[in-house]
């Protein structure tokens, strides 16, 4: 037990507490501003924290990491714009809830389940780091491809009933994901001679464009009497009632499980976990038809999942030295400079550090939860703004936030173009979720599949049990709903489906 | 809210004018044009990096910048301009005015991208000094049957293209490193580009590939705890952090290749500005903070002055031209 | 304002309880066909463009072309499927009809943003942002000093404070 006490004891220093507070405040702030991601905030802060002691620096960086995952829910729920990619799936049900006057319940529940997810992930870090390191190492290109393929089956669920158009939007996302240098040969593909496109279409710009800007644009073109329609008029109750609290349990459990697994996988983070959890919770729900239309379960599942990935990501990063997600990639550089080179040796040489990190994350989670619950009262004032003011605030913050990601005007142009594309998609009945899913997963799918083919040739999948299972699950995910319907066909399901038909 | 009907256009114009007055004291976006008479530096220096914040090049820039700030007695702001494998930031620097207030940390890619279909030419920059060296290595999984570089090369010779070698990405220095070794030894490897150095090294640790070409810093920890076996380092002498690993040259393969970083400015700096910056860089590179930063990360704080660095970059440019054409 | 607000609330409330709408508006067959054909064109375009990619370092059968080709093919098939399903049963429309003023306002805002982007290269961020915010406010019906002076000043100050000063973004 000594490493535990040493690890926690090392934190009994007022400066570390101060660092935690600063990190939590910064994290919540950057999380709430669309465009600026936790990755970027951690990377920027790393420049300042290098001069600090390792534990002080880690306190700042980890609490930014944790708190950003609370802050980013707020714009996702209130203005349909994910504050960071981790809350993409929060928009699916959070925004419909807000439009229905239940923003208060959505925000509070989201903060609560985010805290649960975060703590679940940290438990994994504490108890399962070593065995998990072994599993993560076995995730080579073919296993990664299989996981991504499983993720792509979620396009169907995310389409919200408009399957053909949803899949078309997903294919468009995959196509956008193919822009840039070929991941294997380095050849230019569809880059039109624009150097910025060599590294691919900037996906944060796309997310902000198709979710946030498109929503504002749509309100403007639907405007009544020369004013933008107000997105949300009332926040409703704050605290979820008893029935609502009970309905949170199952999706939060699913979310925590999905998040823990996805978090462990290198390079897969909260965005992917959120979407997978949303779809799994929908399948498991008693009311799948409410998903996408303002289901509280649909908020709880992705929010638990994306925070649960943090513990897994930190585990992978510490245990095998491979960044578990993009935030950890930025943090890894600082850790190496501090002489805390991640890898199995870290657990032998600095076992107390793991407990210090876990404790920092627990404290940051509690602080971020408290801040979220307190701060929400302030959110009311934002929504009391006149309609046109709100539109201006969203447009300008999206523009400057997107610029800040890479200090690039090109990204802002992409965001504006995608705002107009998103408006078109909206008006013509194409859901935006699959597009973003395709853009995120496409490059991962292609590059890992082609790597696997280079290594093992065409029968790569057969050689890997993990990949085979995941591919089988993907097929099942696509086929099972239909099979179930056929099996149940003779009983209640048939009655319901005939009732549904016009 | 519709009671006051002031003409909005007028209001906006008046507002703009007022704001312009208030802010006329502020520095313009392009930085103050340096007075010919005033001693350099006359204002804030911006140090660009063509990479994301938080990466190795970015941290190099930030460490150097904080040292150079006290040497030059001015403030130095680090600005990231990532994208396009670094070409976006490099082109940005080349387009700025050569008054010494815009400098950048440029990685080895500056001498490679021109051969990879990007519009980057080392001749567009005045190099002020090399600040580090990150030598390459080739390593195999601990469980690998190949004990020496010769074993690995013999296997590659026996079945061309059967030995898979991971690297940090298409067009990266480590892909080129594997090619250079193959060309020297007359064998053919199957290169497998990953998305960054860490995943490439992990693929070797996990045994998904037969070998990995990566920097000393990336493989040394795994070599030390026995997950990887480094077969050779691609430098003139043995690496300080891997004293037991022979160089490729010792094993009969004359391959010296690695990543590096240099400080550069747009071409056409005045001689006195250049001298001031060069002196500041050479002092910063020797500072304790910088040296320990580089060595802690497992790299080498190798310094070359402006003339040597320029010669070195041009030589690298020429050599990569031959390697990348193949 | 209040009338608009009430209307929105009522709609929101209706949505909340899932009020059965009388008869959902349906898209026209012509529009659905045009949209679907647009998707088909996009997919075919992608396939054509993929064939023209240089593939010098060809990785055997699985070079840089095959992925965009496969995706383009999927897109074309899905577009065709969308045409068919649109003809069989035009989908319900879940958006409000367009308003002419709204479209003009959006066009004006996009124009302003482009002008802003150009002006920004020459003028300080705070000045152009102040002007942009005021102009967009004016386009969206803002009147009076609060909306045309106070709001732009606050928005600009917050943006500059958060991004320029706190996050050190080179604005």
- With contacts defined as CB-CB under 8 Å, which chain A residues touch C163? 400-401, 404
Name which of B4, B11, B19 is nearest C127 (Cβ-Cβ).
Answer: B19
Split into its structural domains, chain B has a count of 2
- With contacts defined as CB-CB under 8 Å, which chain A residues touch B54? 39, 42-44, 46-47, 329-331, 333-334
Q: For residue B2, what pLDDT is reported?
A: 38
* Same domain (yes/no): B126, B264: yes
- With contacts defined as CB-CB under 8 Å, which chain A residues touch C96? 222
CB A110 within 8 Å of CB A97: no
* Same domain (yes/no): B125, B165: no
* Same domain (yes/no): B216, B139: yes
Q: For residue C114, what pLDDT is reported?
A: 94
- With contacts defined as CB-CB under 8 Å, which chain C residues touch A165? 78, 82, 91
Question: Which residues of chain C carry a pLDDT beneath 70?
Answer: 1-24, 55-61
Which subunits sit against B, judged by 3+ Cβ pairs under 8 A?
A: A, C
- B16, pLDDT greater than 70: no
Cα B157 to Cα A481: distance, rounded to the nearest angstrom = 52
Cα A142 to Cα A470: distance, rounded to the nearest angstrom = 10
A458 vs B: CB within 8 A? no
Residue at B196 is within a domain:
yes
β-strand pairing of B164-167 with B76-80 = unpaired
Residue at B29 is within a domain:
no
Instruction: Locate the chain A residue with the closest alpha carbon to B53.
Output: A43
> Long-range contacts made by residues A122-125, C-beta under 8 angstroms, separation at least 24?
A122/A310, A122/A311, A122/A358, A122/A361, A122/A362, A122/A365, A123/A311, A124/A260, A124/A263, A124/A264, A124/A311, A124/A312, A124/A315, A125/A311, A125/A312, A125/A314, A125/A315, A125/A318, A125/A354, A125/A357, A125/A358, A125/A361
Classified as helix, coil or strand, A472 is helix
A406 vs B: CB within 8 A? yes
**Beta-carbon separation of A43 and B222 below 8 A:** no
Confidence of residue A379 (pLDDT cuts 50, 70, 90): low
- Chain C: give the shortest CA distance to residue B1, in Å: 7
Q: What is the mean pLDDT of residues A214-234?
A: 66
Name which of B8, B23, B26 is nearest C148 (Cβ-Cβ).
Answer: B8
Q: pLDDT (tens digit, 9 = 90+) per residue, A466-483?
A: 888 888 888 887 887 777
**Beta-carbon separation of A321 and B221 below 8 A:** yes
C22 vs A: CB within 8 A? no
B326 vs C: CB within 8 A? no
**Beta-carbon separation of A386 and B63 below 8 A:** no
**Sign for the pseudo-dihedral over CA of A118, A7, B224, A47:** positive
Residue at B282 is within a domain:
yes
Instruction: Locate the chain C residue with the closest alpha carbon to B25.
Output: C124
B101 vs A: CB within 8 A? no
Q: List Cβ neighbours of A347 (8 Å cut-off, separation of 6 or more).
A: A129, A130, A318, A319, A354
- B15, pLDDT greater than 50: no
- B20, pLDDT greater than 50: no
Residue at B170 is within a domain:
yes
Instruction: Enter the DSSP assignment of B48.
Output: E
**Beta-carbon separation of B202 and A188 below 8 A:** no
Instruction: Locate the chain A residue with the closest alpha carbon to C14.
Output: A100
Q: For residue A459, what pLDDT is reported?
A: 76
Instruction: Locate the chain B residue with the closest alpha carbon to C125.
Output: B29
Confidence of residue B10 (pLDDT cuts 50, 70, 90): very low
- With contacts defined as CB-CB under 8 Å, which chain C residues touch B26? 124, 126
A226 vs B: CB within 8 A? no
Q: For residue A234, what pLDDT is reported?
A: 63
Q: List Cβ neighbours of C22 (8 Å cut-off, separation of 6 or more).
A: none
Q: For residue B35, what pLDDT is reported?
A: 44
* Same domain (yes/no): B123, B264: yes
Q: For residue A42, what pLDDT is reported?
A: 82
A345 vs B: CB within 8 A? yes
Q: For residue A63, what pLDDT is reported?
A: 93
Q: Say which range, A484-493, B51-60, B253-262, has the weakest mean pLDDT.
A: A484-493
B 32-51 residues with CB < 8 A to C: 46
Q: What is the mean pLDDT of residues A325-338?
A: 77
* Same domain (yes/no): B70, B205: no
Q: For residue A404, what pLDDT is reported?
A: 83
A409 vs B: CB within 8 A? no
A225 vs B: CB within 8 A? no
**Beta-carbon separation of A199 and B82 below 8 A:** yes
Q: For residue C55, what pLDDT is reported?
A: 63
- B26, pLDDT greater than 60: no
* Same domain (yes/no): B155, B127: no
Q: pLDDT (tens digit, 9 = 90+) per residue, B68-118?
A: 999 999 989 888 888 888 898 999 999 999 999 999 999 999 999 999 888
- Chain A: give the shortest CA distance to residue C127, in Å: 14
Cα A249 to Cα A6: distance, rounded to the nearest angstrom = 35
Mutation site for C-interface testing, chosen from A161, A213, A221 by largest number of C Cβ within 10 Å = A221
**Beta-carbon separation of B11 and C149 below 8 A:** yes
Burial class (CB in 10 A: 0-12, 13-18, 19+), B247: buried
Q: For residue A410, what pLDDT is reported?
A: 92
Q: For residue B175, what pLDDT is reported?
A: 93
- Chain A: give the shortest CA distance to residue B82, in Å: 6
Q: For residue C98, what pLDDT is reported?
A: 84
Name which of C1, C124, C131 is nearest B12 (Cβ-Cβ).
Answer: C131
Cα A46 to Cα A49: distance, rounded to the nearest angstrom = 5
- A3, pLDDT greater than 80: no
- With contacts defined as CB-CB under 8 Å, which chain C residues touch A221? 98-99, 102-103, 105-106
A322 vs B: CB within 8 A? yes
Instruction: Enter the DSSP assignment of B33.
Output: P
Element (H, E) at B45: strand B45-49
Q: pLDDT (tens digit, 9 = 90+) per residue, A451-469?
A: 998 888 777 777 788 888 8
Classified as helix, coil or strand, A293 is coil
Residue at B114 is within a domain:
yes
DSSP characters over C45-60: HHHHHHHTS--TT--T
Percent of chain A whose predicted confidence (pLDDT) is above 90: 24
Name which of B63, B80, B88 is nearest A195 (Cβ-Cβ).
Answer: B88
Domain that holds residue B300: 45-133+259-325
B8 vs C: CB within 8 A? yes
Q: pLDDT (tens digit, 9 = 90+) per residue, B31-50?
A: 334 444 468 888 889 999 99
The CATH number of residue B147's host domain is: 3.40.190.10
Name which of C126, C152, C170 is nearest B23 (Cβ-Cβ).
Answer: C126
A and B: number of Cβ contacts within 8 A: 146
Higher pLDDT, B297 or B50: B50
DSSP characters over A206-269: HHIIIIIIHHHHHHHHT-BTTBPPPS-S----SS--HHHHHHHHHHHHHHHHHHHHHHHSTT--
Q: pLDDT (tens digit, 9 = 90+) per residue, A25-52?
A: 988 888 887 777 787 778 777 767 777 7
Q: Please give the ipTM for the structure prediction.
A: 0.84
Q: For residue A130, what pLDDT is reported?
A: 73
- Chain A: give the shortest CA distance to residue B200, in Å: 10
CB B178 within 8 Å of CB B123: no
Q: What is the mean pLDDT of residues A98-104?
A: 85
* Same domain (yes/no): B286, B300: yes
Supply the mean pLDDT for chain B: 86
**Beta-carbon separation of B3 and C145 below 8 A:** no
The CATH number of residue B85's host domain is: 3.40.190.150
**Beta-carbon separation of C91 and A162 below 8 A:** yes
CA B259 to chain centre: 7
Domain range annotation of chain A = 2-497
Residue at which a domain ends, from B179, B199, B233: B233
Higher pLDDT, B262 or A155: B262
- Chain B: give the shortest CA distance to residue A411, in Å: 11
**Beta-carbon separation of C82 and A386 below 8 A:** no
Instruction: Locate the chain A residue with the closest alpha carbon to B171.
Output: A186
Confidence of residue A380 (pLDDT cuts 50, 70, 90): low
Cα A375 to Cα A364: distance, rounded to the nearest angstrom = 16
Higher pLDDT, A496 or B54: B54
DSSP characters over A433-447: HHHHHHHHHHHHHHH
Q: Say which range, A268-272, B169-173, C159-163, has the weakest mean pLDDT.
A: A268-272
∠ at Cα A174 (A168, A180), nearest 5°? 145
- Chain C: give the shortest CA distance to residue A323, in Å: 24
Cα A436 to Cα A81: distance, rounded to the nearest angstrom = 13
Q: pLDDT (tens digit, 9 = 90+) per residue, B47-71?
A: 999 987 777 888 899 899 989 999 9
Q: Say which range, A176-185, A195-204, A383-392, C85-94, has the weakest mean pLDDT.
A: A383-392
């Amino acid at each position: 037990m000594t490493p535990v006490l040493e690890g926690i004891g090392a934190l009994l220093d007022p400066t570390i507490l101060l660092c935690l507070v600063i990190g939590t405040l910064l994290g919540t702030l950057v999380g709430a501003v669309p465009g600026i991601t936790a990755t970027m905030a951690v990377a920027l802060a790393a420049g300042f924290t290098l001069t600090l002691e390792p534990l002080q620096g880690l306190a700042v960086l980890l609490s930014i990491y944790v708190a950003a995952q609370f802050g980013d829910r707020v714009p996702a729920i209130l203005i349909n714009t994910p504050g960071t990619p981790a809350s993409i799936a929060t928009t699916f049900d959070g925004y419909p809830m807000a439009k229905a006057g239940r923003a208060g319940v959505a925000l509070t529940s989201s903060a609560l389940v985010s805290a649960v997810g975060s703590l679940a992930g940290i438990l994994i870090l504490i108890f399962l780091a070593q065995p998990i390191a072994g599993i993560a190492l076995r995730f080579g290109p073919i296993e990664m491809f299989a996981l991504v393929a499983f993720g792509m089956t979620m396009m169907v669920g995310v389409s919200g009933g408009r399957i053909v158009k949803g899949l078309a939007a997903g294919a468009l996302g995959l196509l956008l994901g193919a822009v840039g240098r070929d991941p294997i040969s380095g050849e230019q593909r569809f880059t039109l001679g624009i150097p910025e496109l060599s590294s691919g279409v900037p996906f944060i710009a796309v997310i902000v464009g198709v979710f946030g800007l498109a929503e504002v644009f749509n309100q403007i073109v639907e405007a009544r009497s020369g004013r933008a329609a107000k997105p949300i008029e009332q926040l409703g109750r704050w605290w979820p009632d008893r029935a609502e609290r009970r309905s949170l349990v199952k999706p939060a459990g699913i979310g925590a499980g999905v998040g823990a697994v996805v978090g462990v996988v290198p390079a897969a983070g909260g965005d992917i976990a959120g979407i997978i959890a949303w779809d799994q919770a929908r399948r498991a729900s008693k009311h799948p038809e409410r998903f996408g239309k303002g289901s509280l379960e649909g908020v709880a599942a992705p929010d638990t999942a994306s925070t649960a990935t943090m513990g897994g990501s930190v585990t992978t990063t510490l245990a095998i030295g491979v960044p578990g997600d993009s935030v950890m990639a930025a943090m890894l550089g600082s850790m190496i400079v501090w002489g805390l080179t991640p890898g199995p040796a870290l657990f032998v040489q600095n076992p107390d550090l793991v407990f210090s990190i876990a404790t920092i994350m627990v404290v940051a989670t509690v602080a971020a939860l408290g801040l979220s619950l307190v701060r929400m009262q302030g959110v009311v004032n934002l929504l009391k703004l006149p309609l046109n003011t709100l539109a201006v605030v969203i447009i300008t913050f999206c523009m400057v936030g997107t610029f800040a990601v890479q200090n690039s005007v090109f990204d802002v142009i992409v965001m504006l173009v995608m705002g107009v594309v998103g408006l078109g998609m909206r008006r013509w009945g194409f859901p935006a979720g699959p597009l973003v899913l395709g853009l995120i997963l496409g490059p991962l799918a292609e590059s890992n599949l082609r790597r696997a083919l280079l290594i093992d040739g065409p029968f790569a999948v057969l050689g890997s049990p993990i990949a085979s299972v995941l591919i089988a699950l993907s097929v099942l995910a696509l086929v099972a709903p239909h099979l179930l319907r056929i099996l149940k066909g003779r009983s209640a399901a048939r009655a319901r489906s005939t009732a549904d038909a016009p | 809210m519709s009671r006051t009907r002031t003409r909005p256009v007028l209001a906006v114009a008046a507002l703009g004018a007022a704001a312009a007055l208030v802010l006329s004291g502020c520095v313009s976006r392009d930085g103050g044009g340096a007075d010919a008479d005033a001693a350099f530096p006359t204002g804030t220096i911006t140090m660009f990096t063509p990479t994301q914040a938080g990466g190795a090049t970015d941290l190099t820039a930030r460490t150097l910048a904080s040292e150079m700030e006290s040497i030059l007695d001015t403030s130095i702001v680090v600005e990231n301009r990532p994208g396009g494998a670094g070409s976006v930031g490099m082109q940005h620097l080349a387009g700025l005015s050569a008054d010494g207030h815009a400098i950048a940390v440029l990685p080895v890619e500056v001498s490679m991208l021109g051969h990879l279909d990007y519009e980057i030419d080392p001749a567009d920059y005045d190099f002020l000094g090399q600040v580090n060296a990150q030598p390459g290595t080739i390593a195999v999984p601990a469980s690998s049957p190949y004990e020496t570089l010769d074993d690995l090369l013999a296997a590659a010779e026996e079945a061309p293209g059967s030995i898979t070698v991971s690297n940090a990405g298409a067009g990266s220095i480590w892909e080129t490193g594997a090619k250079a070794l193959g060309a020297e030894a007359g064998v053919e490897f199957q290169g497998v580009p990953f998305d960054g150095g860490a995943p490439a090294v992990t693929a070797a640790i996990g045994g998904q590939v037969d070998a990995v070409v990566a920097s000393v810093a990336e493989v040394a920890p795994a070599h030390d705890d026995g997950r990887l076996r480094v077969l050779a380092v691609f430098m003139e002498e043995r690496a300080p952090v891997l004293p037991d690993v022979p160089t490729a040259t010792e094993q009969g393969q004359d391959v010296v290749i690695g990543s590096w970083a240099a400080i550069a400015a747009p071409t056409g700096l005045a001689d006195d500005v250049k001298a001031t910056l060069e002196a500041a860089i050479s002092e910063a590179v020797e500072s304790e903070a910088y040296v320990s930063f580089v060595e802690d990360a497992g790299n080498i704080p190798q310094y070359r002055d402006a003339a040597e660095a320029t010669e070195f970059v041009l030589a690298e440019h020429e050599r990569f031209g031959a390697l990348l054409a193949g | 304002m209040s009338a608009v607000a009430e209307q929105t609330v009522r709609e929101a409330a209706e949505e909340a309880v899932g009020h059965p709408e009388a008869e959902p508006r349906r898209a026209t067959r012509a529009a659905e066909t045009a949209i679907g054909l647009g998707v088909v064109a996009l997919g075919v375009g992608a396939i054509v463009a993929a064939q023209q990619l240089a593939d010098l370092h060809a990785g055997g059968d699985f070079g840089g072309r095959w992925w965009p080709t496969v995706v383009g093919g999927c897109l074309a098939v899905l577009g065709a499927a969308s045409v068919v399903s649109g003809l069989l049963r035009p989908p319900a429309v879940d958006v409000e009809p367009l308003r002419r003023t709204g479209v003009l306002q959006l066009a004006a805002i996009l124009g302003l943003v482009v002008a802003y982007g150009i002006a920004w290269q020459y003028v300080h961020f705070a000045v152009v942002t102040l002007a942009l915010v005021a102009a967009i406010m004016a386009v969206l019906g803002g009147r009076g000093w609060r909306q045309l002076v106070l709001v732009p000043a606050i928005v600009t100050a917050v943006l500059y404070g958060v991004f320029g000063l706190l996050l050190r973004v080179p604005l």
